[in-house]
């Protein structure tokens, strides 16, 4: 990962565009969308960059997390927290997305599902790769397949278990290095297949 400039900020127009794309992705699970991502930003860090403020807790996991924490706290005012306590969890390194990490994230309650964590997960590839997710549920017509590379099949099996008690669960965004994203809402049903 390249060095992150702590002074770097997104302008209002870029922030608004990214915010809208992140919400559109969640409303259309599995659909791959394009972000205009400045090259100095780790793409997965864009989620808390546009959704966080001083009232939010954020955890960063994986290679480059310590440097990114300093930059993100300066840019947003967010409070850094352990993953199990964070409102938003950013996995900067696809291999750091362990089943244990995902299973420890906040899921909310049936009366307060909004207290479930939001997960930004870096992937190596979107629309190609050895892992296929078959998706169905709200926002998906019949079903669709999403191929990707990076995180393990076990990580997505853990996400499926975590989201089994809807409306509790975790909304998840997948961020590729080229700035493409896709989302898996907590209501999305996932079947994991290794190709």
Q: What CATH code is carried by the domain that includes residue 127?
A: 3.40.50.11310
Residue the block writes with tokens 């900020």: 9
Residue 82 vs residues 51, 85, 112: alpha-carbon distances, Å? 18, 6, 21
Across 173-189, average pLDDT: 95
Determine, yes or no, domain membership for 144. Answer: yes
Determine, yes or no, domain membership for 3. Answer: no
Q: Three-class SS of residue 111?
A: coil
pLDDT above 90 for 84: yes
Determine, yes or no, domain membership for 4. Answer: no
pTM: 0.92
**Domain containing residue 66:** 12-194
Q: How confident is the model at residue 7 (pLDDT cuts 50, 70, 90)?
A: very low
| Whether the Cβ atoms of residue 71 and residue 5 lie closer than 8 Å to each other | yes
Determine, yes or no, domain membership for 158. Answer: yes
Across 133-147, average pLDDT: 93
Task: Give residue-wise pLDDT tens across range 85-107.
Answer: 999 999 999 999 999 999 999 99
Q: Cβ neighbours of residue 69 under 8 Å, at least 6 residues apart?
A: 60, 80
How many separate domains does the chain show?
A: 1
Q: How confident is the model at residue 138 (pLDDT cuts 50, 70, 90)?
A: very high
- The per-residue pLDDT for 10 is 73
Determine, yes or no, domain membership for 157. Answer: yes
What is the C-alpha separation between 71 and 1, in angstroms, rounded?
14
């Amino acid at each position: 990962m390249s060095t992150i400039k702590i002074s770097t900020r997104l302008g209002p127009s870029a922030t608004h565009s990214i915010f809208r794309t992140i919400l559109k992705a969640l409303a259309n699970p599995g659909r791959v969308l394009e972000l205009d991502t400045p090259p100095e930003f780790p793409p997965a860090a864009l989620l808390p960059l546009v959704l966080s403020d001083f009232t939010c807790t954020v955890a960063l996991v994986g290679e480059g997390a310590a440097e990114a924490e300093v930059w993100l706290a300066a840019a947003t005012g967010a409070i850094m927290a352990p993953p199990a306590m964070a409102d938003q969890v950013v996995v900067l390194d696809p291999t750091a997305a362990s089943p244990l990490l995902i299973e420890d994230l906040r899921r909310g309650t049936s009366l307060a599902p909004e207290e479930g964590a939001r997960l930004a997960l870096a992937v190596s590839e979107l629309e190609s790769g050895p892992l296929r997710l078959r998706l169905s549920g709200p926002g998906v017509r019949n079903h669709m397949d999403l191929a990707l590379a990076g995180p393990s099949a076990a990580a997505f099996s853990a996400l499926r278990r975590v989201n089994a008690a809807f409306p509790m669960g975790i909304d998840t965004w997948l961020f590729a290095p080229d700035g493409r994203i896709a989302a898996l809402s907590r209501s999305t049903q996932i079947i994991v297949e290794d190709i």
